Each structure stands twice: as structure tokens, then as C-alpha cells.
Amino acid sequence: MKKAVKDSLDLIGFRFDRKTEKLVLKPNMCYYWDHSTGMTTDPKFVAAVVDVIRECLSQDVEISIVESDASAMKCRYSFKILGYEKMAKEKNVSLVNLTLDRKENVEVKVDNRSYEFEIPDTIRNSDLLLNIPKIKYMAGVKISCALKNIFGCNPYPKKFRYHSDLDRVIVALNKAMKSDLCIVDGIVVNGEYPTKLGLIMASEDPVAVDSMAAEIAGINPKHVRHVMLAQMEGIGKMACKNVGENLEYFIERFPQKNAKKEARKVILSFGAAMLEKLHSVFSVI
Amino acid sequence: MKRVSVGIIGLGRVGKIHLHNALHLENVNLVAVADTSRKSRYFAAKLGVNKQYSDYQELIQDPEIDCVLICLPTFLHAKSAIEAAKHGKHVFVEKPLARNVEEGKCILAEFSKNSQKIMIGYPLLFEPSFRKMKRQLDSGRFGDVVISCATNISSGPFGHSTSNSIPQPVPSWWFNKDLTGGGALMDLGSHMINLLCWYFGGEIDDVDAVLGHRYNLDFEDYGLVRIRFGTGTLGLVNFGWFSQATEIKVEIFGTVGNQCVRKKSEGALPTKIIQILKGDVNKSSGHYNELKYFVDCIRHNLNPYPSVRQGLRDLEIISLAYKNQVQ
């Protein structure tokens, strides 16, 4: 795995700045879902990235693995359950719950709307923010990869509050906390179901990464609002050059989500929830 | 014969199932609920429950109530069951009976002093498929059962299915072994241990276990328990919180025949919608039938099964499994 990570960086011609001292690694931890579901970054993959960093820079660089509490996930448990606590000990890196970190307020504008976020000191004071996302289909935003992963750097725990305006909020957070490098753990991906895709994707541009991820997932990147918006806001460019394996190989194997089936499921779930509400109202009457 | 006046303590996931079922049982008069959550109390009020308490001790002291359903976290089972018995209430307590054998013995001692009835909530015993298997076993349909495997695998409290889009928070007590008494063995394994004991009798010759910790917590999240029953049957309990796919089944391998029965799924979404439209509950479910049975036991002065002795025996088997771990 270490060799594959190193090869991906060589392919894009990435070289770590020798002056880099503090690195922040942001894997995707989503609820307490096991990495084998394709929903969370495999700690073994992050461990390989740590090894590559130390090999390229020095054994003494300060590496922090970060995540924040969410509506249904608490870092104190997810670090343990998902295997990060064990890995951090083995690799001598620190685990930071951004929700408990010191923060500073920052205001950003997206699509002429203003957003204010608290930016954790661990990210503000880092020399390099390394984004290590998954490739997942996600109802609402269609594709969850590098841009969406930065949503988890927002220390505010009640994240459902942003869900009605998710596309813009994702872009705003990426403006406030720009990824310097993205290395995608596409070894197991999640679409209609989890699949071992064996993909590692690297780029300095999170918009390019998400554009590629959407294509692999069988989604036209131009139909993904937050990717389009991120390009418009200058975070990166969708147009990019593939310097690795043939994309078709991954597109053929990605378990594409059946959009019609998904829509039907969402409508039925919504209908059932509404009926349940109506039922309780009528029970009272 | 008068209806049984019921109070429900704890309106978590299982408490809400009992709430719906109690409202649909003709011999039940659901008098009150108790929960620390205002939202849960409001939920019960909307469904027509007249009294809502924030402190369960007030419910236990309510003279209008004959029977309490205890659906609290495990660490509160012993305390609340004993208090309820002291106030002359019949008690239905969710499994496991308590956190450990010592607490279980305290409950047994209290209920031995008086005539109140106590039943432990093991809904699988009231699932039609598992009841049919019991009848077949008792009739000798499979001959002598040499091996039986009981499986209860699911995503457990830490991870509902990834196909449901909105993850639900996990109550913090689930992460504390001192409050739960154990991990997946207490949660899921207890169901299957109780079921196998019902099938093959309560005499146990030997128990050991292999326990696993995939999620790095200080309690087991999967494992296998081997039980040698006095009847000669070798029981294997296979449990775990690691899977997105739920499987609850019992396999029987006998000298005459083999059989595998599964717990029927709760039904597809369209079935659920029809159920909601009818304003109905699932009357073939284990939860519905166990409550109906317990209420009938109270009304006809019968001793319910599984009672405190069976709940305590299950805790003793679990305690042996923790003690006799095969590395």
C-alpha cells in the first residue's frame, strides 16, 4: 500500500516542501461504519500515507489526524472503533477532535452569500492539509469525495443544520480550509453497494479529484452542484489530465447507484414518515 | 375480568415498540409512561397516554398501575425492578435481567418474598417460526439433537445499516461496560442462549467461549459460545455487532432430521406503509405476543416464562463464558 501511495505521488509529480513541519491528515470518518463498507477511510491506508510522509520529509515531522464530532458520531468513540487510536499509537501521530480544538472565526462568501465558520487552530497552524477521502455515492450531493470530506473539518457538531444548504456550505468550507494535497482511498468504494475497486487517486486539486470521482461513479460532474460551484469559486478546475490507469477500468467496476431506485426509496421513506406523523396526529384527535 | 393497568419506564427504541403494542392490546390500559426526555414524553402524550413522568420512581408509586414494563438501560434494571416489586407491581423487564449474576440474585430474592409476577423480555420465544421449532423438537421430529447453532448477527448499537441515510446517535451508556455488564454477548448472545435453553433444557454441563474485539472497545463485539447441555446437545451461539446484514436463525442437526429457522424480517417498506395506514401493529411479532402473554398471566394468575430464574440462569451462562475464554 505504501508503494502504491508513493507511486501515485510520483505520477502527479508531487514533492513535499522540505520546510514542512506540521501536517494535518483528514481521513473520512463517517459514523461508526467499518472501513470494509467503503464509507470510511481505512486506517491502514492512512498509516501508509504517514510512512510515505516520514520517508519523504523526516521522522520528526508533526502529524495530526483530525476529525470532528457530528450529529450522530463522537470522535472519542470513532477514533477507537474505526481503528485510529491503535494506528496513531503505532505510528506515533496525534489524534485531534477538532470540536474540542481552539478556534478562530472566519467569514467566507460563496455565491454572494456569507458564511461564518470557526476554524480549528490545528488546521490554521499547519503547513499542509492532506485530504484523504473515500469515493461514495451520497443522496443529495450525489458524490462524496475530497470537497465533501472537508465538511468534517467544521468543528460545529450539529452538522445536520447545514444539510438544507449543503452544496454551498461544502464549497464555503473548502474556501476557508483549502486542501493542499488529496490522496483518495478508493480501495473499497461505496455506490449501490461496497466494492473493492483498488484505486488510489492523488491530486493537489480537490475539484479535479471530485470531477474524476464523479465520472468513475457514472455521474456527469457537471451535474454535481458543489463541484461546479467549487470551480466557479476558484477552488480548482474540473478539467484535468489522467496520468494513471485507464479510467474505463474503474468506471466499469464501480457499483453505480440506480438513481430511479434510490428516488423511489427516498419517496417511500418520506411517505412512510409523513404517514407516521399523520397517524400520531389523528390518534390524538 | 379487569384490564391490566400498565406503565412503561423508558421510551427508547424498545420502549416505543411496547408503547405501540400496549395501545393495541385489548386487555391493557396504558396509564402512564416515564422518561427523562421531554420529546419522548410528548410523543407518548400525542398517542393518548394521559400521565407522563420524568422520574420513573413517581410511576412506580402510582397506585393506579398494576404492572410496569422496564425498558431502561441495563444498569437500571435491578434497581427499578426491586423498587417496583416493593410497591407491589408486576414487572416485565427487558433482557438481560441485570448486569451480572449478583444483581440477578437480588432481583430473585425480592420476587421470592411476594406474589408479584416478573417476566424477562425475550421476544424470540414468541416468534411464530421459533415456537414452531419448539413444538417439532418436543415431538421428536428431529430425533436426538446432537448439534444446534444459534446465530444473532447485526450492526448492533454502533452502526445501523449504511443504506439508511441518516445515522442515529448512540446513547453513551452503550460504550460503558460498567453500565451494560458486557458487549455483544450480553446484548445479542443472551437472546440465543435463552432460546437454546428453552429448546434443550436448563441443565448445563459445560460452557466456554471465544470472544473478539474488532472495534477495539473494552468489551467483545463478536464471538462464539459453546454450551454442552445436560441432554447431550452441543449448542453453539454465534453473535456479533459487525455486520450490515441482520441474521437471526437457529439450526438443528438431529439423528433423524435437520432444520433451519429464521426470524422473519419486519417487512418491506410498502408493508409498513399499509400497517401505518391501517393504524395497526404487527400482531405476529415477538414483542406484541410476549406482552399479550404476560398480561394474560397476570389476569389468570399464571407464572410467566421466561421468569427471573431463567434470566438469572442466562446471566450465569454468560458469566461462565466470560470466565472460560479460549484464547
Chain B residues close to A265, C-beta within 8 Å: 269
Looking at beta carbons, which residues of chain A come within 8 Å of B166? 72, 160
Secondary structure of residue B162 in the 3-state scheme: coil
Establish if B175 touches chain A: CB-CB under 8 angstroms. Answer: yes
Written out in words, the top-level CATH class of the domain with range B4-123+289-294 is alpha beta
Provide the Cα torsion B44, B48, B50, B54; round to 10°: 10
Instruction: For each of the domains in chain A, give its residue range(s) and CATH number, in order of start.
Output: 2-254 (3.40.50)
Residues of B in contact with A71 (CB under 8 A): 167, 169
Taking residues B100-113, report their average pLDDT: 97
Q: How many whole angstroms separate alpha carbon B154 and alpha carbon B201? A: 27
A–B: how many Cβ contacts below 8 A? 68
Instruction: Fill in the amino acid letter for B321.
Output: A
Which uninterrupted H or E stretch holds B42? helix B38-46
Q: Give the pLDDT score at B327.
A: 82
Task: Inform me whether the pLDDT recorded for A135 exceeds 90.
Answer: yes
According to the model, what pLDDT value does residue B273 have? 61
Q: CA-CA distance, B316 to B97, in Å (whole number)?
A: 11
Task: Tell if the CB–CB gap between B269 and A284 is shorter than 8 Å.
Answer: no
The alpha-carbon radius of gyration of chain A (Å, integer) is: 19
Q: With a cut of 60, say whether residue B276 has pLDDT above it.
A: no
A72 has a chain B CB within 8 A of its CB: yes
Give the three-state DSSP class for A224: coil
B-chain residues near A276 (CB < 8 A): 276
Q: Residue A279: which of B43, B175, B276 has the nearest Cβ? A: B276
Measured distance CA(A39)–CA(A81) in Å, rounded: 14
pLDDT, residue B268, reads 55
Pick the CATH number of B125-280+308-323 from 3.30.360.10, 3.50.30.30, 3.30.420.40, 3.40.50.1980: 3.30.360.10
* Helix pair angle (A259-284, B269-278), 10° resolution: 20
- Assigned C-alpha cell, A222: 457537471
Are A77 and B175 inside 8 Å of each other by CB?
A: yes
- Pairwise CA distance, residues B277 & A272, whole Å: 9
Per-residue confidence band for A166, with pLDDT thresholds at 50, 70 and 90:
very high
Task: Quote the minimal CA–CA distance from B302 to chain A in Å.
Answer: 33
Please name the member of B43, B47, B159 whose beta carbon is closest to the beta carbon of A32.
B159
Determine, for residues B167 and A83 on separate chains, whether the beta-carbon distance falls below 8 Å.
no
- What 3-state class would DSSP assign to B216? coil
Between CA B134 and CA B293 the distance in angstroms is 17
* Alpha-carbon span B90 to B95, nearest angstrom: 16
Q: Where are the domains of chain B?
A: 4-123+289-294, 125-280+308-323
Torsion of CA A185, A187, A192, A193, to 10 degrees: -120
CA-CA-CA-CA torsion sign (B59, B61, B66, B67): positive
| CB < 8 Å to A44, chain B | none
* Fold match flag (B4-123+289-294 vs B125-280+308-323): no
Structure confidence at residue B203 as a pLDDT band (50, 70, 90): confident
At residue B2 the predicted structure's pLDDT band, cuts being 50, 70 and 90, is: confident
Is the per-residue pLDDT at B226 higher than 90?
Answer: yes
Q: Do A190 and B162 touch (CB under 8 A)?
A: yes
- Distances in Å between the alpha carbon of B54 and those of A167, B33, B41? 41, 9, 8
Separation in Å, CA A65 to CA A91, A94, A129, A180, B304: 11, 6, 10, 15, 54
Does the N-terminal peptide bond of residue B96 adopt cis geometry, omega within 30 degrees of 0?
yes
pLDDT of residue B269: 57
What is the distance in angstroms between the Cα of A217 and the nearest Cα belonging to chain B?
17
Q: Is the pLDDT of residue A284 over 60?
A: no
